Amino acid sequence: MKLGSCTRRHFFKTTTTGAAGISILTSNKTIWANQKPVVGEGEFRFECEHFWGVLPDAHSYGGASHGTAFDEQGQLYVSHQGTPGSVFVFDPEGKLVKAMFPEHSKGKGRASGHGIDIRKEADGKEYIYLSPSDGGMAFTKATIDGEIVWSRGKSELEKDSGVELARYRPTNLSFGQNEDVFLGDGYGSGYIFRYTKDGKFLSVFGGSGTEDGKFKTPHGQWLDSRDGTPKTCVCDRANQRLQWFDMENNHLKTMDGFLFPADIDIQGDIMCVPDLHARVTLLDKGNRVLAHLGDDEAWRARVLDKSEKMRATTDKWKAGKFIHPHDAAFDKAGNIFVAEWVVGGRLTKLRKLS
């Protein structure tokens, strides 16, 4: 079922875990469990726990694990390309609580889960926002229990914005200072659409290009208020840079030096940028690099060598090395959870060392 504009209707199916059939998604789980290398340096050292989280039989990330977000209970929501549904929810110990949003799946393990985030709004309730990476599916706001509040598909975006979308395949979303929400059409037109929390269209900016203010795969974005002034920071992935915009969508600055930045999370003064080219970068308040976690040029060359088929060849993976970090999220303790774009999916918990 494809989603279009709607009022409130039920949009939730769950599966709960049983005592039997629990397994970590790797054939070498014992080996991986015993390997917890440390990455980073100084104040920014983390112990790697690869393949964090357990899934029952018949549950799979499929082609990839994609997005990460925490609710106020400390539960981790992970969007994926597998089955069932398109989002798995884990408790803080890594046990699966439920699977959600089957409507963002075409069935038979072909989900389109991609961008996901959660926030508490002025009414005191938490809401989930989703951007499935499928042009036939809808940008969606739902309650924390999975009931649809509103959704917008391609036709609504075109009508609202006046932009004709010859290509449309959204990637990610972010929030503004006034409970606005931004949707990036990263795999499609390169535009970023801005709506209110109630689904009212506000503006559109960007589009495809290499000049400042334009994008080649705006894959993720985030509200950056670390210097006291709110800005939207965009991962302009294929242009290998970050760009910042004020709250009127005017370009402010561009920062080069990235490889293939995929998304952003911020905790305090620290910005975390998972980079699809095998590393995770931490930046300080002044956007100086604090650490490139897992960075290794020789390893990256192997990851990017198509003949290696690294994305799908788990027996080549090494502890303490990333393949394709796609999203990352801080928990309340400052640990970082990294989801990777690899066949079968992989979550890595980076446990912060004091």
Distance of alpha carbon 264 from alpha carbon 262, whole angstroms:
7
Q: Is residue 10 part of a domain?
A: no
Q: Is residue 7 part of a domain?
A: no
Contact 129, 143 (CB under 8 A): no
Q: What is the pLDDT of residue 35?
A: 80
> Phi-psi category of 153—alpha, beta or left, where left has phi over 0 and alpha has psi -120 to 50?
beta
Q: Specify the 3-state DSSP secondary structure of 68.
A: strand
Cβ partners under 8 Å of residue 25, min gap 6:
51, 55, 60, 61, 344, 345, 346
- ∠ Cα 146 148 152 (to 5°): 130
Terminal-residue alpha carbon distance, the chain: 48
Distance of alpha carbon 320 from alpha carbon 348, whole angstroms:
10
Q: Which tokens in the block code for residue 178?
A: 């006034």
Nearest by Cα to 79 from 71, 90, 68: 68
Model pLDDT for residues 52-67, shown as the tens digit of each residue: 998 999 999 999 999 9
Max intra-chain CA distance, the chain: 55
Q: Is residue 130 part of a domain?
A: yes
Nearest by Cα to 285 from 271, 275, 265: 271
Domain of 123, in residue numbers? 22-352
**CATH code (residue 116):** 2.120.10.30
Residues lower than pLDDT 70 in the chain: 1-31, 33
Q: What is the pLDDT of residue 5?
A: 35
Beta bridge partners of 90: 76, 96
Cβ partners under 8 Å of residue 307, min gap 6:
none
* Global confidence as pTM: 0.91
- ∠ Cα 52 130 259 (to 5°): 65
Q: Which tokens in the block code for residue 109?
A: 């393990």
Nearest by Cα to 349 from 126, 102, 107, 53: 53
Nearest by Cα to 9 from 117, 133, 147: 147
Q: Is residue 211 part of a domain?
A: yes
Q: Is residue 341 part of a domain?
A: yes
Q: Which tokens in the block code for residue 131?
A: 């951007």
Q: Is residue 13 part of a domain?
A: no
Q: Is residue 9 part of a domain?
A: no
The count of other CB atoms within 10 Å of the CB of residue 166 is 7
Query: DSSP letter string over 289-302?
Result: EEEEET--HHHHHH
Q: Is residue 3 part of a domain?
A: no
CA distances from 139 to 37, 50, 193, 229, 331 (A): 38, 31, 11, 28, 25
Distance of alpha carbon 128 from alpha carbon 314, whole angstroms:
32
Number of domains, the chain: 1
